[in-house]
């Protein structure tokens, strides 16, 4: 039996979104509480070891870090969103870490104010996408026909690039590529569409505009 679950969130956080996707994909009943990370409440500071979201509260216990949270959610609600093969499962976990690094680079690129550093981030991101593309030997998802935790890890990355492409004309993912097809498959899922607040696109662009980075000058 699944215990009462509450997710503590910031409404633009891609790492929170990973856990929301997993919760929705596995049909887990949960509550969500939004906070302002720029001015976090005292109760949050008291229970968050790293001062970051997501936090998952389960009957008074607290879990942090999205990959750990998703592993817990996966284990309490079979069937698993990991491959059965032990080696493939380990490889998926490694690529989830790769996704985390890509999300970090995406964020830094989106707020960078120095033109040279901005271009360097774009080059790094493109190189990472080239590496990732070589892993996409299946479709429509990372491992084939079954959605996995690896897909949940990358979906927030693709959603933000889709918004940047549509509203800022930032074209990083080539059309008709394996990356593009994977992105479209993920962004078409109800669990991904419903993993953000309705006004996400505008809030995300407003956030980037307020940062004043090079991305808004393109």
List domains and CATH numbers for the chain: 5-76 (3.40.30.10), 86-217 (1.20.1050.10)
Residue 211 has pLDDT above 90, yes or no: yes
Contact 7, 173 (CB under 8 A): no
Q: Could you identify the residue written with the tokens 């790094």?
A: 124
Q: What is the pLDDT of residue 1?
A: 52
Q: Is the pLDDT of residue 175 over 90?
A: no
Give the residue carrying structure tokens 């979906």: 155
Q: What is the mean pLDDT of residues 79-107?
A: 97
Q: Which residues contact 40 (CB under 8 A, 6 or more apart)?
A: 48, 51
Entry pTM: 0.95
Mean pLDDT of 201-206: 96
pLDDT score at 217: 82
Which tokens hold the place of 35? 């906070």
Q: How confident is the model at residue 4 (pLDDT cuts 50, 70, 90)?
A: confident
Residue 156 has pLDDT above 60, yes or no: yes
Split at pLDDT 50, 70, 90, the class of 69 is: very high
Query: Does residue 134 contact residue 78 with C-beta atoms inside 8 Å?
Result: no
Greater model confidence, 174 or 64: 64
pLDDT category of residue 218 using cuts at 50, 70 and 90: low
pLDDT band at 55 (very low <50, low <70, confident <90, very high): very high
Q: What is the mean predicted confidence (pLDDT) over 148-152? A: 98
Are the C-beta atoms of 201 and 13 separated by less than 8 Å?
A: no
Mean pLDDT value of segment 126-140: 94
């Amino acid at each position: 039996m699944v215990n009462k679950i509450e997710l503590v969130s910031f409404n633009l956080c891609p790492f929170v979104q990973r856990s929301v996707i997993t919760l929705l994909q596995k049909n887990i009943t949960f509550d969500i509480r939004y906070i302002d990370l720029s001015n976090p409440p005292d109760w949050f500071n008291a229970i968050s070891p790293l001062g970051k979201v997501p936090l998952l509260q389960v009957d008074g216990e607290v879990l942090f870090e999205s990959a750990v949270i998703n592993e817990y959610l996966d284990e309490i609600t079979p069937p698993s969103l990991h491959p059965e093969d032990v080696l493939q499962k380990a490889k998926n976990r490694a690529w989830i870490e790769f996704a985390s690094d890509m999300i970090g680079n995406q964020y830094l690129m989106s707020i960078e104010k120095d033109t040279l550093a901005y271009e360097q981030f774009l080059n790094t991101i493109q190189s990472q996408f080239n590496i990732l593309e070589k892993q996409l030997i299946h479709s429509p998802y990372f491992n084939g026909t079954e959605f996995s935790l690896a897909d949940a890890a990358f979906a927030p990355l693709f959603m933000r690039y889709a918004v940047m492409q549509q509203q800022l004309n930032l074209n990083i993912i080539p059309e008709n590529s394996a990356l593009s097809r994977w992105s479209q498959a993920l962004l078409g899922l109800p669990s991904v569409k419903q993993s953000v607040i309705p006004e996400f696109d505008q809030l995300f662009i407003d956030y980037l505009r307020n940062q004043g980075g090079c991305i808004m000058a393109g």
